[in-house]
């Protein structure tokens, strides 16, 4: 028995040594993440090994999303034109407030091939009931196709209402495609949409489990939430599909989020994003290029928009780079709403420098955790910025899930990416970057309205927090690079 225990201990130590070597020399992670994983492996050797298998392995498929149809919609030519026009100062900006952010626009063009569209009408939703009533109405009016993608999709009240419409539309000849994430929508399976598929719809799960009830890919999830209807109307933002997003959860109460409805040329990049994701997930038949997916859209408005995607398949952390650029150019204020505030050193330093430079930095986070370690890591990070002069608000009217940043009433972003390592590096995300004074001001006003339902966390309150909270923060902060 003693020899068996000794053999197990020796084997575990050997496995840990090889994993440590892999982390340091083969995975080529950033140093903070490497040290965090080494702590996990050596302090909880057996359980740590299992956790590493579930969460630690890096994604090897660097070219997951390919679509030959991109060339047919002329996107490469448009990107090349916009890059060249900005470089030689001949780009035609329709608004001066858009032109003043030409360098950020250029960044997203080079980083992510994100074309700038300037003819959009954008509607902001911060209440789930309003968002879903609008979505249900648009789905009812669909004539050609519906493309719908959510990280979490629940077959409860609102989810079933959506599915019922999709079934009716599919029977009427509208092409319906639904994509959900296998981990985010845990317990949901393609077989649960049998009536929809029997009616002509198609349903796929992103990175589905290879074994029954077990999915070892807990990282690298598709966190995007997109709906495209007839290639003319698009939705993007933070709301998933479920009754809790209507404020019906006893645990979370009212659900405060931000979502956008778009009409205009920005719908085309949303469509492209969906097709790329769909073709990766649905192995039976891929979506081929068809003009019906990219119809000519008359000018709907004057809002400038870039759709920016990021994920572990990206060379750069595209959305994080956009966040950093917004922080760098801020002169008056930065308003941030996020459920998880676990920035890496670059973002934390940028915000600290902005505070010390006199920029009014305000951060709003939830008053209750949906992930315990993440919550205390968030608390720890805002504490650092409080000392630099940032204002931090704890949202008390339920749960705040919005992922939005507004700078100087001129530029803003809304989407799926939180301010944490998971969104920056591990999950597939998508954000809309908005260059418009009126729309950015609207988002800033909504932030200021939310302050009325929040408690300000002062530096004095943070310093005098109980010792137990300090211990929780310290542990969570050590693990934050892998949360």
* Gyration radius from the chain CA atoms: 23
Distances (CA, A) of 31 to 28, 420, 481: 9, 16, 9
Element (H, E) at 203: strand 202-206
3-state class (DSSP) for residue 71: helix
State the greatest distance between any 2 C-alpha atoms of the chain, in Å, as a whole number.
79
Catalytic residue among 223, 268, 320, 439: 223
Is residue 225 part of the annotated active site? The answer reads yes
Clarify whether 472 is annotated catalytic: no
Structure tokens at 11: 């084997």
223: annotated active-site residue: yes
> Among candidates 152, 187, 191, 148, which has minimal Cα distance to 170?
148
The angle that helices 345-356 and 318-329 make with each other, rounded to 10 degrees, is 10
Question: Which residue is catalytic, options 225, 300, 446, 472?
Answer: 225
Token pair for 69? 């149809």
Name the residue among 234, 265, 242 with its Cα closest to residue 161. Answer: 242
Cα angle: 288, vertex 304, 65; to 5 degrees: 30
What CA dihedral angle connects 171, 177, 181 and 185, to 10 degrees? -20
401, 439, 446, 472: the active-site residue: 401
> Tokens representing 266?
């920005």
CA dihedral 249, 255, 257, 259 (to 10 degrees): 60
The H or E element spanning position 461 is helix 459-463
Within 13 Å and on the Cβ side, how many CA atoms surround 66? 6
Catalytic residue among 230, 321, 420, 450: 230
Phi, psi dihedrals of residue 187, rounded to the nearest 5° = 95, -15
Distant-in-sequence, close-in-space partners of 155: CB < 8 Å, separation ≥ 6:
163, 188, 192
403, 439, 446, 472: the active-site residue = 403
- Cα 254 to Cα 180: distance, rounded to the nearest angstrom: 24
Contact 276, 224 (CB under 8 A): no
Catalytic residue among 127, 182, 277, 408: 408
Residues in the chain: 483
371 labelled catalytic: no
| Separation CA 160–CA 107 (nearest Å) | 41
Where on the phi/psi map is residue 230: left (φ > 0), alpha (ψ -120 to 50), or beta? left
* C-alpha dihedral (134, 140, 141, 143), degrees to nearest 10: 140
- Give me the active site residues, please: 223, 225, 230, 401, 403, 408
């Amino acid at each position: 028995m003693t020899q068996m225990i000794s053999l197990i201990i020796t084997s575990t130590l050997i496995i840990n040594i090889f994993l440590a070597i892999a982390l340091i020399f083969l995975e080529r992670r950033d140093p903070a993440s490497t040290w965090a994983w080494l702590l996990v492996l050596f302090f909880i050797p057996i359980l740590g090994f299992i956790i590493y298998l579930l969460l630690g392995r890096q994604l090897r498929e660097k070219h997951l999303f390919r679509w030959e149809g991109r060339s047919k919609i002329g996107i490469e030519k448009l990107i090349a034109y916009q890059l060249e026009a900005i470089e030689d100062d001949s780009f035609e900006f329709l608004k001066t407030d858009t032109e003043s952010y030409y360098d950020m626009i250029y960044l997203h063009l080079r980083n992510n091939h994100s074309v700038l569209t300037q003819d959009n009408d954008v509607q902001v939703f911060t209440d789930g009931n309003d968002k879903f009533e609008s979505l249900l109405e648009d789905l009812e009016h669909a004539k050609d196709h519906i493309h719908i993608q959510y990280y979490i999709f629940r077959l409860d009240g609102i989810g079933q209402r959506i599915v019922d419409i999709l079934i009716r539309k599919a029977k009427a000849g509208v092409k319906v495609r639904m994509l959900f994430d296998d981990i985010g929508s845990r317990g949901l399976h393609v077989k649960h949409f049998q009536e929809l598929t029997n009616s002509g719809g198609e349903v796929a799960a992103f990175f589905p489990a290879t074994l029954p009830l077990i999915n070892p890919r807990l990282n690298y999830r598709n966190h995007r939430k997109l709906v495209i209807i007839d290639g003319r109307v698009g939705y993007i933002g933070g709301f998933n599909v479920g009754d809790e997003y209507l404020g019906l959860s006893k645990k979370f109460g009212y659900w405060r989020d931000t979502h956008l409805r778009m009409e205009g040329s920005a719908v085309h990049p949303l469509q492209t994003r969906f097709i790329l994701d769909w073709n990766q997930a649905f192995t039976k038949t891929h979506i081929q290029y068809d003009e019906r997916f990219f119809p000519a859209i008359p000018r709907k408005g004057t809002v400038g928009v870039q759709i920016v995607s990021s994920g572990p398949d990206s060379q750069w952390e595209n959305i994080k780079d956009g966040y950093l650029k917004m922080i760098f150019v801020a002169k008056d204020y930065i308003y941030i709403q996020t459920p998880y505030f676990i920035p890496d050193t670059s973002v934390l330093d940028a915000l600290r420098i902005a505070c010390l430079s006199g920029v009014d930095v305000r951060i709003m986070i939830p008053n209750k955790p949906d992930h315990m370690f993440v919550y205390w890591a968030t608390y720890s990070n805002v504490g650092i910025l409080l000392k630099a002069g940032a204002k931090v608000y704890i949202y008390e009217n339920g749960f705040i899930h919005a992922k939005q940043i507004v700078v100087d009433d001129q530029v803003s972003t809304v989407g799926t990416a939180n301010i944490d390592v998971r969104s920056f590096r591990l999950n597939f995300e998508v954000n809309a970057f908005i260059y418009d004074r009126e729309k950015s001001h609207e988002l800033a006003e909504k932030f200021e309205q939310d302050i009325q339902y929040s408690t300000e966390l002062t530096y004095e309150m943070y310093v005098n927090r109980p010792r137990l909270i300090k211990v929780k923060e310290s542990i969570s902060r050590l693990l934050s690079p892998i949360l």
